[in-house]
Amino acid sequence: MSEERPDPDALLAQLRDEEINAARGKLRIYFGSSAGVGKTYAMLQAARKLQADGVDVLAGVVVTHGRSETAAMFEGLPQLPLKEVAYRGKTLPEFDLDAALARKPGLILVDELAHSNVAGSRHPKRWQDVEELLANGINVYSTLNVQHLESLNDVVGGITGVRVQETLPDTFFDRADEVVMVDTPADELLARLSAGKVYMGPQAERAARNFFRKGNLMALRELALRRTADRVEDDVQAWRSNERIAQVWKTEAAILCAIGPTPAAESVVRSAAQLAQQLNVSWHAVYVETPDLQRLPDAQRERILRVVRLAHELGANTAVLPAQDLAPALIQHAREHNLSKLMLGRAEALPAWQRWLGARELQQQLAEGAPELDLISVAATLPQVQRRAATAEQDARQREQQWQQLAGRYGLAAAACAATALISWPLQKAFDQSNIVMLFLLAVVGVALRLGRGPAVLASFLSVGLFDFFFVEPKLSFAVSDVQYLLTFAVMLAVGLVTGQLTAGLRYQAQVAADREGRSRALFELTSDLAGALQTEAVLQVAEATLATEVRGEALLYTLDLQDQLQPSPRLGSLPAADQPDLGTARWALDHGQAAGLSTDTLPGSAWFYLPLAAPMRTRGVLALKPLSNRSVMLPELRAQLETYARIIGQALERVHYVEVAQEALVHIEGERLRNSLLSALSHDLRTPLAVVYGLAQTLAGMAELPGHAHELSEALRQQSQRVSAMVNNLLDMARLQSGAVRLNLQWQPIDEVVGAALQAMQPSMAAHRLEVQIPAGLPLLNLDAVLMERVLCNLLENAAKYTPAGSLVVLSARLEPERLLLSVADNGPGLPAGREEQLFAKFTRGERESSTPGVGLGLAICRAIVEAHGGRIWAERGVEGGAAFVISLPLGEPPALLPEPELEPEEAQHEP
């Protein structure tokens, strides 16, 4: 059945996951309801058992809290020394991630997964350290309390009244390979607490009063058990999905979470994450930025963006939508992405006057605009975190500023209306009242255009009032003599309000459109500028100029050189030394393919933001940015824009790289062609005249009528031309072998035949030496190129003849070993220079530096090239005869079968098919 068939994309995704998982380390979390249940103890127990089984266990960081049982269990485990990190004049011990990565144990124990690292560490959170350990293939055991889970943070805070700052994203918890629930009933835990086994001394009392109340403990235990049960169910589903995965791979998203500007947004996001996790669906979180919200002070906008980031961390697809109104933007997003549930914080009821003016609550608007959407309103709990006095003061100042700004805008609107009245006053003699109305309407449009929606409303009302007061009989009074003016007022007010609203909306939309257009124009310009760049330098220059403008700060590119090292662009020199990006962070971003630095998970405190330049084939470098405001790297749209820039630059760098590769290849091909034509020209043009010299010299030597010394001379001529000819052959062969132009003509043949042919060819040169051949009968056939192997043997025999005195013994022997055949040419001459045996095989190397013995030292190099092409080896050693020995080892392989000869008479055999 078609619906039962697994989706191929889903299967692929599963395979990909499995591939990634295979290389990753495994994470096991010991999960408990509260401190003191024995998580660390259980972890240590399991680790000891593995250690006894021979696993390389290392304690990265283990906190015993001075509990004696745990400390006893901890003893004897190899420990990683903690790193001392300087922080505000103190040194704090911290987990040493780099040392752990360098040590690469089989299993590492990292206690307290939700721990926050000291500011200035590589990652702000310990779980990010663990993530890096896992990515490097190291298995990790860790511990976690239920109240540290991000999505349960609010719930636990509500139950116990104690809020923890150190939280762990649920996505990370859910990705753990195993979760082991460590459970202790509340009574037993309390008993242990009172026995002083949990905390020591006065700490115990305080902890008991605040946290360890039976009701609390039972509630926490229930939460922990339920969360574990959820996980177990997920595991069961995942296991079932191996049989039929259709139901598990739900890719359609279902929940849309609206992020509001209030501090309560955080808890709404957490609830949405929790619901999405329970329903096993993906979810979206959007922040709709209306003109009013855009005018919020920077600090508040940044806080909202942090909530957007939190949603992202909790696994949501996030977006910031610029729009005039909330409801239509939310509905449009929900419909575009096929989201059926909309989740939002419960808003306070609108003030009566607004409702009276026709304003409706968001929920009502949504319900009317999109009846098909399920609306879920969540209790908006305010975070109870105590703010530091400094921030409270800052907030107050910001609120004041906001008020001032607001008052200024409305004041300006009023002033505009007053100015219109002032200008119109002397004109009323000359102009009709309807024209005066037009002037007021013009003022409203102007206010709407410059100051926005609210001031436009004020201006509308003021205009009507002023017109009534100054221009309608009786003047300087709000009384109206003619009733028809009421219609004028009504129309004037309506027109003012409507045009004001439309103008203000138009203005905002124009602004949004202009922003968008600006972004796409910047992209377009970058793309077209990069398209013309043919050199890396040009790409760097264009990209850096564009990005510096884009973030209104500094931009610097790192590119990978041939040694795979990051090289900063030349612009680095123009930056002040204190303000330069950090190469180490850039490298981290490159290696992990993730953004690093400013407002990311890795070194968020640094001033620079690092993005890897991903390209289709590989990552080509790193982009470092120092933006004017954090907004440009925090806002999802701008971040996406930056990532697009990075991709375009990466592709441009890759294109330039391949242009260079193609040019190199072209040069190489040209060189190859030149070499080949040179070789064939050489081989013809050198050999023909040599053949002539050789032949003529021999003819000359054979002439009887020549005097005696002329015979000698012509004989010398013949010998020398023969040597030159041999040398030319060697040079050409070496060139051919090296250019790869030689294709082996491999055939199965007995080694005796090759040896025989070589001896036959070398007969004249070996005449002055004693030659012994020791080849046992019954050697297997070898797969050889006979011509080349004969060449090897000839070269070795020639060397033996050349470098030993006349009358020396030369032994050519063969020996069969398992898997290989050894051929050796040994002599009893002066032997080889000690320690230089290997050098002899290099090109243009000879045993003696300057000697009368002819040759350029190519022979052995050719031998090695040929033997290695056959998959064999050749080396020199001290021979049994005391002189030099050259040994060739050739692989045996599997010779073809040889059918026995049918015992037939020759005549009969003739008739064989």
Partner 1 sequence: MSLDPQPVALIVEDEPSIRRFVRLGLEGEGWQVHEAETVRQGLVDAGTRRPDLVILDLGLPDDDGLNYLKDLRAWSGVPVIVLSARASEADKIAALDAGADDYLTKPFGVGELLARVRVALRRSQSAAKAGEPAQTLFRFGSVEVDLVARRVQRGGAPVHLTPIEYRLLTHLIANAGKVLTHRQLLKAVWGPSHMDDNHYLRVYMGNLRQKLEALPASPQHLLTETAVGYRLMP
Chain residues binding partner 1 by CB under 8 A are 683-684, 687-696, 698-699, 702, 718, 721-722, 725, 729, 745, 747-750, 752-757, 759-760, 773, 775, 777, 781, 785-787, 790, 895-896, 898, 901, 903-906, 909, 912-913
Helix (H) or strand (E) holding 613: strand 609-614
For the CB of residue 780, give the shortest distance to partner 1 in the complex, in Å: 11
Max CA separation in the chain (angstroms): 154
Task: Supply the minimum distance, in Å, between the C-beta of residue 906 and partner 1.
Answer: 5
Of 708 and 900, which has the nearer Cβ to partner 1?
Answer: 900
Pick 27 or 794: Cβ nearer partner 1: 794
In angstroms, rounded to a whole number, what is the distance separating the alpha carbons of residues 133 and 176?
A: 13
Contact assessment for residue 530 and residue 545, using Cβ atoms and an 8 Å cutoff: no
Min dist CB 55 to partner 1, Å, is 56
Instruction: Report the residue number, 414 or 757, with the smaller CB distance to partner 1.
Output: 757
Structure tokens at 139: 């298995």
Residue closer to partner 1 by CB (options 140, 792) is: 792
Angstrom distance (rounded) from CA 535 to CA 655: 10
Query: Shortest Cβ distance from residue 733 to partner 1 (Å)?
Result: 8
Cα dist from 913 to 896, 908, 910, whole Å: 21, 11, 8
616 vs 896, beta carbon nearer partner 1: 896
Q: Which residues contact 514 (CB under 8 A, 6 or more apart)?
A: none
- DSSP character for 151? G
CA 473 to chain centre: 76
Between 584 and 695, name the residue whose CB sits nearer to partner 1: 695
HSE, side-chain direction, 13 A CA sphere, residue 842: 7
Whole-number minimum distance, CB 829 to partner 1, in Å? 21
- Which of left, alpha, beta for 597 (phi over 0: left; psi -120 to 50: alpha)? left
Query: Is the Cβ–Cβ distance between 559 and 540 less than 8 Å?
Result: yes
The neighbour count for residue 241, using CB atoms within 10 Å, is: 16
Q: Other C-beta atoms within 10 Å of 845: how many?
A: 16
What backbone torsions phi and psi does residue 804 show, to the nearest 5 degrees? -120, 150
**Comparison of 797 and 884: residue with beta carbon closer to partner 1:** 797
Q: CB 821 → partner 1: shortest distance, Å?
A: 15
**Contacts of 341 by beta carbon, 8 Å cutoff, 6+ apart:** 254, 255, 256, 373, 374, 375, 376
CA 397-552-300 angle, to 5 degrees, is 25
Separation between Cα atoms, residue 102 and residue 138, nearest integer Å: 11
Q: How far is the CB of 845 from partner 1 (least distance, A)?
A: 25
Is 299 or 909 the residue whose CB approaches partner 1 more closely? Answer: 909
Q: How far is the CB of 757 from partner 1 (least distance, A)?
A: 4
- φ and ψ at residue 556, rounded to 5 degrees: -145, 140
When the beta carbons of 93 and 689 are compared against partner 1, the nearer one is 689
Give least dist CB 753 to partner 1, A: 5
Which residues make Cβ contacts (< 8 Å) with residue 429, sequence separation at least 6? none
Q: Which of 227, 92, 214 minimizes the C-alpha distance to 152? A: 227
Residues 88/138, Cβ–Cβ less than 8 Å? no
State the minimum distance, in angstroms, from the CB of residue 872 to partner 1.
Answer: 19
Nearer residue to partner 1 within complex by CB, 282 or 676: 676
What tokens does 578 get?
């204190």
> Shortest distance, CB of residue 726 to partner 1, whole angstroms?
10
Question: Closer CB to partner 1, residue 185 or residue 695?
Answer: 695
Closest approach of partner 1 to the CB of residue 901, in Å: 5
- The residues, ordered by sequence, that sit 6+ positions from 389 with a Cβ below 8 Å of its Cβ are none
Using the minimum distance from each CB to partner 1, give the nearer residue, 246 or 744.
744
DSSP H helices in 533-635: 536-551, 583-592, 631-634
Nearer to partner 1, 432 or 894 (CB): 894
Distances (CA, A) of 766 to 601, 791, 807, 809: 78, 15, 10, 10
Minimum Å distance from CB 868 to partner 1?
20
